[in-house]
């Protein structure tokens, strides 16, 4: 997951990077009030119908042949899953902030 411009930001001058929301709404781990922008990538689904060569727990060669329905596309679940995790992390940090500041 990348927040903001990621590695592309290393190619910009500070004045240019600061002029827009290239930080993705997060600076130094703290929200700067801008919209939080995430870029997310997922690895390919591991369980597919194609037989694959692998090894068992003892190191012996074997063939993995998945049975049943295994959806090769996680896209329908990806967006709500990422949104839910971001919401949980933000809520967690809000509670931490409230706990720290109210002591």
32-85 pLDDT, tens digit each: 888 888 888 887 777 777 888 999 999 999 998 888 766 667 778 888 999 999
94 SS3 class: helix
72-98 pLDDT, tens digit each: 677 788 889 999 999 998 899 889 988
Q: Are the beta carbons of 36 and 24 closer than 8 angstroms?
A: yes
Where b means 16+ CB within 10 Å and e means fewer, 57-83 reads eeeeeeeeeeeeeeeeeeeeeeeeeee
Residue 3 has pLDDT above 90, yes or no: no
């Amino acid at each position: 997951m990348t927040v903001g411009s990621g590695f592309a930001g290393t190619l910009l001058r500070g004045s240019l990077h600061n002029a827009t929301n290239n930080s993705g709404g997060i600076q130094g781990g703290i929200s700067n009030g801008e919209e939080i922008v995430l870029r997310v990538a997922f690895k390919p689904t591991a369980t597919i119908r194609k037989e694959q060569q692998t090894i068992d727990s003892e190191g012996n060669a074997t063939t993995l042949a998945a049975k049943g329905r295994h959806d090769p596309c996680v896209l329908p679940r990806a967006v709500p899953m990422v949104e839910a995790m971001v919401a949980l992390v933000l809520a967690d940090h809000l509670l931490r902030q409230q706990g720290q500041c109210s002591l």
